[in-house]
Amino acid sequence: MNSSSALVVAALAAALVFAGTARARHVAAPVVTLDAAPAEFSPNGDGYRDAVRATITVDEPVTLTIQIVSDRGLVVYSNGPGVVAEPGEVVFRWNGKTSRKRAALPVRDGRYTIAATAVDSTGASAEAQAEVLLDTHPPALVWRSVPSVVRDALRLGVQAHDLSASLRLKLGLVDQSGTVMPVRGVFLRAPGKLALVWPKSRVMRLTPQAYSLALTATDAAGNAGATTVRRFLLDHPVHSRVYARFSGVGRHVALTFDDCNSAPAWSSILRTLARFKLKATFFCPGRQVLAKPELARRTVHEGHAIGSHGWDHARFASLSYESALQRLVEDRNVWWKLARVATTPYFRPPYGTFRTSTLAAAGRAGYAAVVLWDVDPQDWRQPGSSVIESRILAHVKPGSIVLMHVLPQTAAMLPSLIAHLSSRHLLPVTLPELDRLGTPSPGGWHATGSG
């Protein structure tokens, strides 16, 4: 082969190599990536995680086809035959429907695969995928166990059903007067049979009384569900303080009613309070509660507060520690069994008499407040409705605890008393309300033989 022939052969070889390299470069598949967020979404129109946002990136001009496939292999969405996309990012939003048209239909809850297929001008293709969970239903929660009485930690059992792999569970507590208690902390759990413990160190900070309990669960898509409401009685020892009046409560007073001996008077007092849309506090011995269960339930149902007056109106100053404790526990338990409420944390000793062992027994039974009074019209002597009213108006002032009894003369004068209190801009509220508003004080009280 002469030199010229060798040059031709070399040139042909070089051309073949160049052509092969160019051909190889053109048939290389495009690079495509897909990122979908949030991983769980809920297209229910609440403005939170209503759609999933898929960010697709390609490195060269391509025809981009997007398909969404259910976990059963059914294609529920497609933009075929695709769209032309330049190098860079393409953003796609899916709202959980079969297409973007008006006739689009919502798809069922479940797991879906978003697939992006990129085809370049040579026919080379590549695909990227991401899995998302569409969940429009709130978690379903069913109680498995709730204690009736709690003396240390609060231990709960619940069955949770949801598509999400993780739930945020939060405890809600409302005390007997309707105050929502601040509860910190969130339980993170997967659905299934769940055992939850609210520690003793937190439970013991609550005042002994009856509480309403509910558990809420929120899944990653923002759907929230809740259990039914249950009630439990919190029982633990406390330090008892003597209350006779309050300061720092504005122009509020507490109307309190003892003994509950007269059913007609009790019913009349409740009607009057309902007519004026006011709440009061009742101290009824356990025996009277058992004797008049419908009136007791009505008192609680209409939103009035209750406290203990002992089981049988015994004079606590003459009782032993053990006898006092027994009467306080029995009185509390009869209210709990009858109406799922508790007399704790308020105890008024009959006649206003007590001794050191009485305070110790009250604290052991969960009564944080031994409630006396600073206004006593001695209505138990039945001096006449006008006399009872004038005695109250002569001494009542902001923060007063007014002692009255469930008797006919007291019931008869109550509408007039409320009107006169209103004219003085004094608003009757319950003892728990006064407790929230201000500071209790034992000052102003002296025993008069009433109560």
Same domain, residue pair 93 and 194? no
Instruction: Based on the fold, state whether residues 145 and 121 are members of the same structural domain.
Output: no
Query: What was the pLDDT predicted at 2?
Result: 52
Peptide linkage before 81 cis (omega within 30 of 0)? yes
Bridge partners (DSSP) listed for residue 189: 167
Average pLDDT of the chain? 92
User: Are both 290 and 389 inside the same structural domain?
Assistant: yes
**434 and 314, same structural domain?**
yes
Task: Using the Cα atoms of residue 76, residue 41, residue 195 and residue 344 in order, give the sign of their dihedral.
Answer: negative
Is residue 446 domain-resident?
no
pLDDT digits 0-9 by tens, 395-408: 999 999 999 999 99
**Residue 85 pLDDT exceeds 60:** yes
Within a domain: residue 61? yes
Assess whether 173 and 256 both reside in one domain.
no
Helix pair 293-301, 321-339: axis angle to 10 deg:
70
Least confident residue range of 15-24, 73-82, 347-356: 15-24
Q: Using CA atoms, how far apart are residues 296 and 430, in angstroms rounded to an integer?
A: 16
Query: Does residue 277 sit in the same domain as residue 417?
Result: yes
Q: Is 50 exceeded by the pLDDT of residue 53?
A: yes
Assigned domain for 5 exists: no
Q: Residue type at 182?
A: P
18 pLDDT above the threshold of 50 = no
Tell me if 51 is assigned to some domain: yes
CATH code, domain carrying 123: 2.60.40.3880
Instruction: Indicate the range of 44-53, 256-265, 322-331 predicted with least confidence.
Output: 44-53
- C-alpha closest to that of 261 among 408, 86, 110, 72: 408
What digits encode the pLDDT tens for the residues 208-264?
999 999 999 999 999 999 999 999 999 999 999 999 999 999 999 999 999 999 999
pLDDT band at residue 15, thresholds of 50, 70 and 90?
Answer: very low
Assess whether 363 and 267 both reside in one domain: yes
Same domain membership, residue 377 and residue 354 = yes
Question: DSSP assignment, residue 228?
Answer: P
55 & 152 share domain: no
Query: Which pLDDT score, from 0 to 100, does residue 246 have?
Result: 96
Question: In this structure, what CATH number is given to the domain that contains residue 160?
Answer: 2.60.40.10
Which of these three, 134, 168, 192, is where a domain ends?
134
Alpha-carbon torsion angle 232, 236, 238, 244, nearest 10: 30
Q: Say whether both 346 and 281 belong to one domain.
A: yes
Catalytic residue list contains 258: yes
Residue 185, phi-psi category: left (phi > 0), alpha (psi -120 to 50), beta (remainder): left
For tokens 């020892």, what's the residue?
A: 237
Sequence letter at residue 403: L
Which residue range is the domain that position 357 belongs to? 241-441
Among 258, 374, 376, 435, the active-site one is: 258
Q: Which of 114, 134, 154 delimits the end of a domain?
A: 134
pLDDT value of position 77? 94
Model confidence pLDDT, tens digit, residues 290-306: 999 999 999 999 999 99
**pLDDT in the model for residue 297:** 97
In a domain, 13, yes or no: no
Q: Judge whether residue 104 has pLDDT over 90.
A: no
Residue that finishes a domain, picked among 79, 114, 134: 134
Query: Per mean pLDDT, which range of 180-184, 253-257, 404-408, 444-448 is the poorest?
Result: 444-448
Amino acid 451: pLDDT: 63
Domain identity same for 195 and 220: yes
CATH number of the structural domain spanning residue 418: 3.20.20.370
Q: Has residue 6 been placed in a domain?
A: no
What's the burial of 144, exposed, middle or buried (CB within 10 Å: 0-12/13-18/19+)?
A: exposed
| Catalytic member of 259, 313, 405, 435 | 405
Is the residue at 419 inside a domain? yes
Task: Look at residue 133 in the predicted model and tell me its pLDDT.
Answer: 97
- Give the pLDDT mean for 328-352: 96
pTM given for the model = 0.84
Domain-located, residue 449: no
Q: How confident is the model at residue 22 (pLDDT cuts 50, 70, 90)?
A: very low
Number of domains present in the structure of the chain: 3
Same domain assignment for residues 177 and 40: no
Q: Tell me if residue 219 is catalytic.
A: no
- What share of the chain has pLDDT > 90, as a percent? 87
| DSSP, residue by residue, 65-115 | EEEEEETTS-EEEE-TT-EEE-SEEEEEEE-SBS-SSTT--BPPSEEEEEE
